[in-house]
Structures are given as C-alpha cells and as structure tokens.
Structure 1
Amino acid sequence: MENSFQPSQSMNNQAGQMQPPLNHGGHEMFDAHEILATFINVLDQYVIFDQYIQDPELKQILKHQQQFITDLYNISVQTFSTGQKPDHSQTVYNMDQSNDVVYGMKPSQPKKPNTSIQEVSDQGLSAYMLGLIKSTASLLAMTSLEITNPVFRRVISDSVPNFIEMGYEIFLYQNKRGYYQVPQLQPQDMTAMMSSFVEVPVSPNPNQEIH
C-alpha cells in the first residue's frame, strides 16, 4: 500500500488560481531583472551619497529623485509580478532648476581621481549621480523596445523622459556652479552649421480626409 500523498484535483486548481499570469516573454524576464536591479543599485548609491553631500540644494535634488525612483521601483515590481496595472499611475518628474545654461569655459583646476574619502566633493557626487541617471535612461530606452507585456512596457517606456529630466536637472545644477562647463564654437562656424540643412515639402497623405 502506497503512503505517498496525492494532491486532489481541487487543490491543483487552487494552486493554478494562485499562480500569477505568465504573460512575459523569456528575453523580457532577463531585461526586467536587470531593470529592477539597476533601480536598486541607483537607490543604494544615493543612500551612500547622501552621507557626504554638503550643499543643501544638491541634497534636495537627491532626495527628490530618490523618492521618485523608489515609487517607480514599486510600480515596476507590481506590474512585472502581476502583469496588470499598478495601484496608482506613474507621475511625471518635475525639476526645480531653471533652464538657463551658462555657456563658455572658465579656468578651473585639473581633475584627478580621489585618493581618500575625505577628497569626495559635491562636484564629484553630482557627477556620480549624473552618470547613474544617464546609464539608467539608456537601459530603459533599450529594454522597452523588447518588452512584450503591454502594461510593464508602458511603465518602462514612460520612465525614459523622466530619467532624461532628472539627468538634465543634475546637469543644470553642475553647470550653474561651473562643474559642467559648455564650450561653444565660433559664431561664424555655428551659423554655418545651423544653416547647413533645409526643409523639404511634405506630400499630403492620400488617405487623409480633406475637410
């Protein structure tokens, strides 16, 4: 007489009902893990940076971005694990910096690697933040083209403009303080290059209704 436990059909049905819908492609599974791990990496490093930032303005930028990315991480986990809409929609990231860019180069000290933690500065920390945000924006843009689940895909693709905005915010902060200088070409060269393309007429769509 066999003593092995045989699950009933009703128990099998219950287990099947508890299983989340597997509505993701195989390649998407690896991309999703990379995305979520990247969000964690950014948030972990922001926690480290927070200990060393001196400028209250940079600290406020970090806190603002940290809160936004944390919410995005939670939304992404929900949509990836369920394949369904999250409990709330993703918001649009709004920065506090003005759009005024300072152009031109001013004398500054040459850069070199730090040799101790005491040499870490707001200039370097803001550069680390910018590097993380830029690389994450590239990852999100690339992987959103290969995600099959429509809800998860929308969450990731809609995140790209937000990360671009966060990167621009950090750039503007750096530019305002001379950390990120923006050289320009000679005016005549800029004018020549800006005038080197012309528009072409666009033929009307033959299927478009004319009112």
Structure 2
Amino acid sequence: MELQNHQNMETGTIPPQLNHGGHEMFDVHEVLAGAICTLDTYTMLSEQVQDPELKTILERQKQFMTTEYNTTLECFKTGQDPSVPTQSYKMTQGNDFVYGMKPSTPKMPIQSVAGVNDQIISLSMLNSLKLGAVMKTNAALESTNPVVRRVLADSLPNCIEMAYEVSLYQNKKGYYQVPQLPQQDMQQMLNSYGPAAIVPPLNGNMTH
C-alpha cells in the first residue's frame, strides 16, 4: 500500500474517484450532510407553512437543492463531470427592500410546536441557506479535485440567491427589518475610498 501511494505521488496516476485531498474529503462530507439536513428541515416545515407564497418558495427551493445535492454527490464519488451540471437558481419576485425600523414584539423561543409560524419557518430556511453557503465556501477552498471545486463554487451564487429570496419575503412581511444609517453617514462612508491606480506591468507581461 505504501509503495502504491508513493507511485501515485510520483506519477500522478490517481484514479479520478480517489482524486481528493484529506481536507476536501472532510469538508465535502460536511456539505453533503448539511444539504441533507436542509432538505429534511424543508420537508418537516412544509406541512406547517400557512402562506401560499412561502409554500411556493419552499417547494421550489427544495426541488432545486435536491438536484444540486445529487450533482455534488455524483462528482464527489466519481471525481468527474456530473451528468447533470450545476444549474442557476432564479427567484421570481422583485428585489426592493423596505428600509427602516418599526416597533415590534421582542422575539423569544417558542414553548411548543403550536408556536411555529411562517416567521419562524422562513427564518429557519434562511439560516439553513446561509450555513450552506459558508460550508460550500470552505469546502471549495480546500478542494483539490478540479470538478468538485468548480461544482461547489458554482453552487454558491445559488445559496446567495435563495437566501436573498427568503430575506426579501421576510422583509415584505415585516419579519425582517433593515435599519439604515443617516444619509450623511452613508455619504461619508461611500466616499471613504478612491479607485486604485492601474500600473502597467513591466514589459507588458506579468510573467517572467
């Protein structure tokens, strides 16, 4: 076994399905386990949803994430291009946030399942999506297999888009309020940086 490993290191003839580093193995396992947890959470919450709009978002996202999970699993097991490439998730609603804070009841843990409502469900969805984005980012940065790295990296915009969709829904329903800085402070921060000067490379080439 040691001789075989040594030969693989020397010749680079590792089979595609074994073309994974140790950190990649652990981190992608976390991604896949996290994806299953998210899908299970969506399944459990689907029967509790009251708002048809949130129900539609939940079901559409669940279907998309199921396909994406299968794509990630396939390329991880084979080390090669998946039969179904990573797709691009597109939300259907507008992207206008309502800014400002209004008085609201302080949040606290619910005491029973009867307290589960659309606000709690949408927050659970959002937290799952945000956690998935972090795990996929970490795994992509640790991946040595080029296909797995690309699949993970390509799925990140989908995590962001789905999380954005849920946060827009929460904002529209008043579940998620977005404070703003005073305009004077915003202008000062917006003007705190200037563009960098573009210096041409020596000899017109960055390489030696």
Tell me whether the two structures share a fold, i.e. TM-score over 0.5: yes
CA drift at 1:26: 1.9
1:140 aligns with 2:136: yes
Task: Tell me the number of residue pairs that the alignment of Structure 1 and Structure 2 aligns.
Answer: 191
CA drift at 1:37: 0.7
Give the aligned partner of residue 194 of structure 2: 198
Give the aligned partner of residue 102 of structure 1: 98
1:182 aligns with 2:165: no
What does the per-residue CA deviation read over 1:146-204, in whole Å, with 9 as the maximum and x for residues that have no partner? 11111111111111111011110111000111111011111212112212222232112
Q: Secondary structure at the match of 2:18?
A: coil
Give the aligned partner of residue 68 of structure 1: 64
| Aligned pair partner of 2:82 in 69, 81, 86 | 86
1:21 aligns with 2:17: yes
Q: Which residue identity lines up with residue 130 of structure 2 in the other structure?
A: K
More helix by share: 2
| Cα distance in structure 1, aligned partners of 2:186 and 2:16 | 56
**Runs of 4+ off more than 6 Å:** none
**Equivalent pair of 2:119/2:175 in contact (CA under 8 Å):** yes
| Aligned pair partner of 1:31 in 11, 27, 30 | 27
| Aligned pair partner of 2:110 in 98, 109, 114 | 114
| Cα distance in structure 2, aligned partners of 1:136 and 1:174 | 19
The 1:200–1:154 alpha-carbon spacing in structure 2 relative to 1, beyond 3 Å, is closer
Q: Secondary structure at the match of 2:186?
A: helix
| Cα distance in structure 2, aligned partners of 1:188 and 1:165 | 30
Q: Which runs of 5+ in 1 are unaligned?
A: 1-18
Instruction: State the TM-score, normalizing by the size of structure 1.
Output: 0.86
| Cα distance in structure 2, aligned partners of 1:68 and 1:104 | 33
Instruction: State the TM-score, normalizing by the size of structure 2.
Output: 0.87
Give the aligned partner of residue 42 of structure 2: 46
**Equivalent pair of 2:133/2:156 in contact (CA under 8 Å):** yes
Give the aligned partner of residue 122 of structure 2: 126
CA RMSD of aligned residues (A): 1.5
CA drift at 1:21: 3.3
| Cα distance in structure 1, aligned partners of 2:204 and 2:58 | 48
Q: Which residue identity lines up with residue 139 of structure 1 in the other structure?
A: M
Q: Which residue identity lines up with residue 177 of structure 1 in the other structure?
A: K
| Cα distance in structure 1, aligned partners of 2:147 and 2:134 | 20
CA drift at 1:207: 4.8
Q: Which residue identity lines up with residue 144 of structure 1 in the other structure?
A: A
Give the aligned partner of residue 52 of structure 2: 56
Trace 1:151-162 onto structure 2 (pairs within 5 A).
151-162=147-158
What does the per-residue CA deviation read over 1:59-108, in whole Å, with 9 as the maximum and x for residues that have no partner? 11111110111001111111111111111211101011211010011122
| Cα distance in structure 2, aligned partners of 1:168 and 1:99 | 9
CA drift at 1:119: 1.0
| Cα distance in structure 2, aligned partners of 1:68 and 1:55 | 20
Give the aligned partner of residue 3 of structure 2: none
Q: Which runs of 5+ in 2 are unaligned?
A: 1-14
CA drift at 1:208: 4.0
**Equivalent pair of 2:74/2:82 in contact (CA under 8 Å):** yes
| Cα distance in structure 1, aligned partners of 2:111 and 2:47 | 18
